[in-house]
Amino acid sequence: MAALEVDGRGYVGGLLVTSRSGRPLEFQCTTPVKPDRTQEILYGRTLRAWVLGELIGSTLFSRVTIKPDLVVVHDKQMLELRNHTQTPVAFLDDAGADTGTNHCRSIGGRQLHFHRDHPDDSDFVESRAHLLPCKADLQEPMDRVREALTETVRTVLA
Amino acid sequence: MMTDDGPPQPLSHASHTVCTAANLSLSVDTAVCGFNSALQRVPLLDTRVLPLIIQPALVPSWRPHNIPMKCIGLTLPEGVELLVSTDAKKTASDGSQSREIRSRKIAATEANGHRRRKRTRVKPPPGAVSLQDRLFYLLQPPLETWLAGQELVLPFEPFPFQYEGIAWLFSRHCALLADEMGLGKTMQAITGIRLLLRVGQIRKILLICPKPLIPNWRREFRLWAEELPVVTIEGSPARRRMLWTMPGIPILIANYELMTRDLPDIPNEDRPMFDLLVLDEAQRIKNRNSLTAQVARSIDRRRNWALTGTPIENRTEELVSLFEFLDVVPPRAVLNARQLSKLADEHILRRTKDLVMADMPPRIDRDAELQLSDAQESAYRTAEDEGIVQLNDLGDAITVQHVFELVLRLKQITNFDPLTGESTKLERLTADMEEIAASGGKAILFSQWTKSLDWLEERLQPFNPLIYHGGVPAKMREPVLDRFREDPDTHLLLMSYGTGAVGLNLQYAGYVFLFDRWWNPAVEDQAINRAHRIGQKNPVIVTRFICANTIEERIDRVLREKRELFEAILGDRDNDRVSLSLNTDEIFGLFDLKARGVEGARSIGPSNANAA
């Protein structure tokens, strides 16, 4: 799951459901979502988490017919989605270091961070990591989502 | 005033002053009244609710609410399959049925390495209009990871330019893959077909190729897509009819002759419909009016791919014919160079070895200029002098065919003198072959004439030559190639341009001899590229035999001058190997006939004399 900020139009989000080998199964994306001034003031620092995780994330997750076993997000604020679903959510931090805590796991050469209120997610992913293909790159599907979002925005706004 | 000791005494004013002490210790008390008792009571406190008088009218009210948004969705074919299949769904939701692939230690190591690798992404084709269509292509994973998965394994790692070619074919409904010979068009097409089948975009494919190449295609399918069943159209007419119309066969392979012969006889209601039609060596339909081209265009199909290393052999009209097959121009279209160039940019993918195979061993060309032996020289001069006299005597009746016959006669003499059997080419060839055989090398020799090849076979026995030309039965050809590849004592393969120039993989040969010259350098290049292709580990030495002061030298000069003519059409991507064959005026010019005022030249006709 990834999101883009569109100049002057807010955020668009996309969720690509893939098989274990990275084959695309289903894709859902939103139209642009723009919080108004009141929401910006009242949500303050929690605005992005609310928009990306609760609004966009929950909507996308509810719309896909093929429910994934794990949602990997590219924005830490999207971890908020975890408070609205029973499915584990992991934040893919390409630059971050493995802290060795329950909130961080290294999978396939990538660092996954989990919601601090759901420490069991880390154990769940750890127990399923062996099912991933050896060359699986968790970052790569994010590029596809972003490209698809860019294409969609370009088409919708045209 | 009152004291505690009695009433106060009066003070004296006269003679003496009397001071009297007064006791001021007075008792004070409050007068009994209603106010004093009230002060002694504890105050009684009470509250009461006073409602606001009015609701403030200008205070904003706000409650959390979600911002309305819409979703755009796409379920891809594999997702649909997953939803339809209950078992598959179970597997997807419960990873317990999945098997472990490799240890994570290896996985992590390879993932780290994988991150640095180039990724080849599929791009939406220019003609994809709907958003869903474009998303379908954009959401496909990079080919490198897709083809490295468990489901689709390749026997060898493709080159980056081959990945790009596969991705390009995958997204194209109309495609002309015109890579230079030896860069793996076959492999790219097979892998493209494999991926399209995998994602459900195509289900029935027809592949048309020259007959000698059918075994090669079958072999390549086994190598690159062993899971795909391939059926070859062959046998009796009834059997072929059954194969053409039989449902459930994913890939049909047929040769051009059977396509032309069988399909027109099938009633329209029974004619098969194909999701993809692939024409290999598509220059076979360069003449748009030929029956082959017409039948190819009449086949019901949804996608068209054409494969050829020489999209233009002689004239730009050949390229127009290919575009007509691809359905990118209307029937009978007449296009100028600018239009052709634009269409080429859009629908042709051409790479040359110079551009993509920087690490490939070089091809070293050398022209062996030879002097005719005395007997050859005598026979040659006699034939030429007599031939020119005869041509002049024909006057207005002269045609290009007359000139052409003389050219052929002279070329044959440069190969060997028919009376004495003398041949300087054979002498040079023998010397070279001794050196090649001594080093354990292998060579391919091309000639225009099967007669010359048979003649050479008798005289080159020390090198265990093998023959591969149109006179060899089709069933015997594969064993010939197998023996040439496997037998270390076999050092020479004698091939005709017509049979051996296209489609064969002979990269284990390091030497190529052009015993005589073909009319078109593009065909010569095709022949040379049997050896100089992917898989070749050593430089390929190409030797062209050219007899000095003969017709061969003149032909060579004309062809060299023409090599650059069509670069404007194919642009910078092409090198100088695409060229034209000789046309009518040039064939006459070989004997300076035009300059000597051959008045009957107009009867020859406007078209070229495409000897190839």
pLDDT, mean over chain B: 79
CB-nearest to A134 from B95, B106, B146 is B106
pLDDT for the residue numbered B189: 97
In whole angstroms, give the CA distance from residue B269 to residue B278.
22
Question: What is the distance in angstroms between the CA of the first residue and the CA of the last residue of chain A?
Answer: 24
Average pLDDT over residues B18-34: 72
> Does the pLDDT at position B322 exceed 80?
yes
> Does the pLDDT at position B98 exceed 60?
no
Q: How confident is the model at residue B595 (pLDDT cuts 50, 70, 90)?
A: very low
Label each residue of B208-252 as H, E or C: EECHHHHHHHHHHHHHHCCCCCEEECCCCHHHHHHHHHCCCCCEE
Residue B5 amino acid letter: D
Q: How confident is the model at residue B597 (pLDDT cuts 50, 70, 90)?
A: very low
For B123-272, where are the E strands, in sequence order? Answer: 174-177, 205-209, 230-232, 251-255
Structure tokens at B424: 């300087």
User: A93 vs chain B: nearest CA distance in angstroms?
Assistant: 15
In whole angstroms, give the CA distance from residue A88 to residue A121.
5
Q: What is the DSSP letter of B327?
A: T
In whole angstroms, give the CA distance from residue A142 to residue A68.
15
Average pLDDT over residues B437-461: 91
pLDDT in tens, B468-498: 988 888 788 888 988 998 899 999 999 998 8
**φ and ψ of A71, to 5 deg:** -105, 125
Inform me whether the C-beta atom of residue B82 falls under 8 Å from chain A C-beta atoms: yes
pLDDT for the residue numbered B602: 32
CB A31 within 8 A of CB B72: yes
Stretch 291-330 of chain B: residues touching chain A, C-beta under 8 Å:
none
> Does the pLDDT at position B426 exceed 80?
yes
Stretch 53-92 of chain A: residues touching chain B, C-beta under 8 Å:
55-56, 59-60, 63-67, 69
Label each residue of B455-520 as H, E or C: HHHHHCHHHCCEEECCCCCHHHHHHHHHHHHHCCCCCEEEEEHHHHCCCCCCCCCCEEEECCCCCC
Strand partners, B349: B177
In whole angstroms, give the CA distance from residue B451 to residue B418.
11
> Does the pLDDT at position A115 exceed 80?
yes
> Does the pLDDT at position B566 exceed 70?
no
The complex's ipTM?
Answer: 0.90
Helices (H), B94-130: 104-115
In whole angstroms, give the CA distance from residue A108 to residue B104.
7
What residues of A are in contact with residue B103 (Cβ under 8 Å)?
130
What residues of B are in contact with residue A21 (Cβ under 8 Å)?
149-151
pLDDT for the residue numbered B113: 46
Query: Under an 8 A CB cutoff, do B112 and A31 touch?
Result: no
Q: How confident is the model at residue B2 (pLDDT cuts 50, 70, 90)?
A: very low
Structure tokens at B382: 């006699």
pLDDT, mean over chain A: 87
Most confident of B255-259, B358-362, B531-535: B255-259
Query: Under an 8 A CB cutoff, do B82 and A69 touch?
Result: no
pLDDT in tens, A39-73: 888 889 999 999 999 999 999 999 999 999 999 99
pLDDT in tens, B113-158: 444 567 888 998 887 778 888 999 999 999 888 887 666 778 888 8
User: A117 vs chain B: nearest CA distance in angstroms?
Assistant: 23
Inform me whether the C-beta atom of residue B440 falls under 8 Å from chain A C-beta atoms: no
In whole angstroms, give the CA distance from residue B372 to residue B384.
14
Chain A interface, mutation test: which of B72, B96, B121, most A Cβ atoms within 10 Å? B72
CB-nearest to B150 from A32, A133, A156 is A133
